[in-house]
Amino acid sequence: MSIRPIIILPDPQLRLKSAPIERVDSDLLQLADDMLETMYDAPGIGLAAIQIAVPRRLVVIDTSKEEDAREPRVFINPQIVWSSDERSVYEEGCLSIPEYYAEVERPARVRVSYVNREGKPEEVEADGLLATCLQHEIDHLDGVLFVDHISKLKREMVIRRFTKAAKRDGGGPKVEEAAKPKRMGKSEI
């Protein structure tokens, strides 16, 4: 397993539409393991393959609490097949837009079809943080970022900030190892 570099706004690759995965083989499972290791290291609760510059429809998620055992999940070709009319608001972040958080309103519950690690089709019905995270990651596969769901004024402000930082340092605002956030505790979710 290896930790891969995460690409940062305004990298144009983040706007690509990722290609469907045709075969579940050992290379794909290795990629999924690398994504999980990269996500745990960041740390984060989700990661789409395009965030490590691989434009394939692959997502990893772990929304378990810090004090609980890890629950790594792999979603190959995930697709939202149903979403609730009821909506909920979560404060979202993105490993490709470090240290920027904003409230986003999305369907409260979703049903998602996907292919599992064994290459078998499966469905999951999700609510709460998992529903939000699935929608956030599936958006990445279509080149959509969570800032596309906030006001135009806020979006333009954050894009301008990251574009300036990229010009200045050749990359987005740097997140020092010591400043990395910890996984959320029970009381914070």
Task: List the catalytic residues.
Answer: 137
Q: Token pair of 11, please?
A: 């990298």
Site for ligand K1U (CB under 6 A): which residue of 95, 110, 131, 165?
A: 95
In terms of Cβ atoms closer than 10 Å to its own Cβ (0-12, 13-18, 19+), residue 68 is: exposed
How many residues sit in the footprint of ligand K1U (CB under 6 A)?
21
* Contact flag: residue 94 with Zn ion (CB under 5 A): yes
Mind giving me the DSSP string for 89-136?
Answer: EEEE--TTSTT--EEEEEESEEEEEEE-TTS-EEEEEEEHHHHHHHHH
Residue pair 85/109 in contact (Cβ under 8 Å)? The answer is no
136 is a site residue for ligand K1U (CB under 6 A): yes
Q: Are 106 and 149 in contact (CB under 8 A)?
A: yes
Helix (H) or strand (E) holding 48: strand 46-48
Separation between Cα atoms, residue 154 and residue 64, nearest integer Å: 30
Q: Which residue is nearest to ligand K1U (CB)?
A: 44
- CB of residue 110 vs ligand K1U: minimum separation in angstroms? 13
Residue 8 in the binding site for Zn ion (CB under 5 A) = no
Segment contacting ligand K1U by CB under 6 A, of 79-87, 112-120, 129-137, 150-158: 129-137
Please report how close the Cβ of residue 92 comes to ligand K1U at its closest, in angstroms: 4
132 binds, among Zn ion, ligand K1U, none (CB under 5 to 8 A by kind): ligand K1U
Q: Do residues 130 and 61 touch, judged by C-beta distance below 8 A?
A: yes
Considering only residues 43, 55, 143, 171, which one is a binding residue for ligand K1U as defined by CB under 6 A?
43
Q: CB of residue 187 vs ligand K1U: minimum separation in angstroms? A: 13
Binding of residue 173 to ligand K1U (CB under 6 A): no
Locus of tokens 């290896």: 2
For residue 17, give the nearest of 143, 110, 148, 186 by alpha carbon: 143
**46 binds ligand K1U per the rule CB under 6 A:** yes
Name the residues that contact ligand K1U, by CB under 6 A.
Answer: 43-48, 90, 92-96, 132-133, 136-137, 140, 181-184
Name the residues that contact Zn ion, by CB under 5 A.
Answer: 94
